[in-house]
A and B are shown apart, each in its own frame.
Chain A
Amino acid sequence: MDDLYRELIIDRYKNPQFRGELEPADISYHDDNPLCGDKIRIDLRVDENDIVTEAVFSGHGCSISLASADLVVESILGKTLDEVKEMDKEMVLELLGIELGPVRLKCALLSLKVLKAGVYGLGEGESSDDLVA
Chain B
Amino acid sequence: MKAVTTHSNVLDPEKIRKDFPIFSKEIHPGVPLIYLDSAATSQKPLAVIEAMDAYYRHSNANIHRGIHALAEESTANYEASRQRIADFIGAAKSHEIIFTRNTTESINLVAHSWGRANLKSGDLIILTEMEHHSNLVPWQILTSEIDLRLEFIPVNAEGLLDLDEYKKLLTQNPRLVSFTFMSNVVGTINPAKEIIHLAHEAGALTLVDAAQAVPHFAVNVVDLDADFFAFSSHKMCGPTGLGVLFGKEALLDAMPPFLGGGDMIKRVKLRSFTTNDLPYKFEAGTPAIAEVIGLGAAVEYLDDIGMDTIAAHTKELTAYALERLEEVPGVWLFGPSIEHKAGVAAFTFEGVHPHDVSQILDRDGLAVRAGHHCAMPLHEKFDLPATTRASFYLYNEKQDVDRLIEGLYKVKEIFG
Q: Which residues of A contact B (CB under 8 A)?
A: 1-2, 4-5, 10, 13-14, 34-39, 60-64, 104, 107
- Are B359 and A1 in touch, CB under 8 angstroms? no
Q: Which residues of B contact A (CB under 8 A)?
A: 352-356, 359-360, 363, 370-372, 376, 379, 384-386, 414-415
Q: Which of these, A5, A10, A14, A62, contacts B353 with CB under 8 Å?
A: A62
B376 contacts which chain A residues (CB < 8 A)?
34
Q: Which of these, A35, A39, A62, contacts B356 with CB under 8 Å?
A: A62
A-B contact count (CB 8 A): 47
B370 contacts which chain A residues (CB < 8 A)?
36
Bound CA–CA A4/B361 (angstroms): 13
B360 contacts which chain A residues (CB < 8 A)?
2, 5
19 A–B contacts from the bound complex (CB under 8 Å): A1-B414, A4-B359, A5-B360, A10-B414, A10-B415, A35-B371, A36-B370, A36-B371, A37-B371, A37-B379, A38-B353, A60-B385, A61-B353, A61-B385, A62-B353, A63-B352, A63-B353, A63-B356, A107-B355
- Are B355 and A2 in touch, CB under 8 angstroms? no
Q: Which of these, A2, A10, A62, contacts B363 with CB under 8 Å?
A: A2
A37 to chain B, nearest CB (A): 3
Given contacts A62-B355, A107-B355, whether A37 and B415 have CB atoms under 8 Å apart is: no
- Are B355 and A5 in touch, CB under 8 angstroms? no
B356 contacts which chain A residues (CB < 8 A)?
5, 62-64
Q: Which of these, A14, A38, A104, contacts B385 with CB under 8 Å?
A: A38
Bound CA–CA A107/B353 (angstroms): 11
B79 to chain A, nearest CB (A): 41
Bound CA–CA A62/B376 (angstroms): 17
A104 contacts which chain B residues (CB < 8 A)?
355, 359
B359 contacts which chain A residues (CB < 8 A)?
4, 104
- Are A39 and B414 in touch, CB under 8 angstroms? no
Bound CA–CA A13/B415 (angstroms): 9
A61 contacts which chain B residues (CB < 8 A)?
353, 385
B354 contacts which chain A residues (CB < 8 A)?
36, 62
Bound CA–CA A14/B416 (angstroms): 9
A109 to chain B, nearest CB (A): 14
Known: A36-B355, A62-B355, A63-B353. 10 other contacts (CB 8 A): A2-B363, A36-B353, A36-B370, A37-B371, A38-B385, A39-B385, A60-B353, A62-B354, A62-B356, A63-B352
Top 5 A-B pairs, shortest CB-CB distance: A37-B385, A62-B353, A62-B355, A37-B386, A63-B356
A64 contacts which chain B residues (CB < 8 A)?
355-356
- Are B414 and A5 in touch, CB under 8 angstroms? yes
